[in-house]
Amino acid sequence: RKEVEQDPGPFNVPEGATVAFNCTYSNSASQSFFWYRQDCRKEPKLLMSVYSSGNEDGRFTAQLNRASQYISLLIRDSKLSDSATYLCVVNIGQNFVFGPGTRLSVLP
């Protein structure tokens, strides 16, 4: 099993839709979790950290389920500008491992 796995995608959704991504991780000792977004031919940028209690930032909500070892990202009222690849990041010891990413295309 890979250390970090994500929904394969791509997700093609209309503007205004709600979309959710899942990410699973293999190391039960992982403590730090993040979602990054990466635009085409650009570097990844931190979208949000994921806290145990779940957290929300505007239209974005992140959840952590330690028992099942997965994290999720929910995007409400999606915008054209949300089109990107969403990367799940999990610490494995001192290192951070990136998932393969899920590509989202928001269509007009």
Binding site for other proteins (CB under 8 A): 31-32, 34, 42-46, 49, 87, 91, 94-101
Nearer to other proteins, 32 or 65 (CB): 32
Nearer to other proteins, 5 or 17 (CB): 5
Q: How far is the CB of 44 from other proteins (least distance, A)?
A: 5
Contact of 76 with 18, CB cutoff 8 Å: yes
Nearer to other proteins, 38 or 69 (CB): 38
Q: How far is the CB of 2 from other proteins (least distance, A)?
A: 10
Query: Distances from the Cα of 83 to the Cαs of 27, 37, 43, in angstroms?
Result: 30, 9, 15
Residue 33: closest CA among 69, 59, 7:
69
DSSP output for 47-83: EEE--TT-EEETTEEEEEETTTTEEEEEE-S--GGG-
Q: How far is the CB of 40 from other proteins (least distance, A)?
A: 10
Nearer to other proteins, 15 or 57 (CB): 57
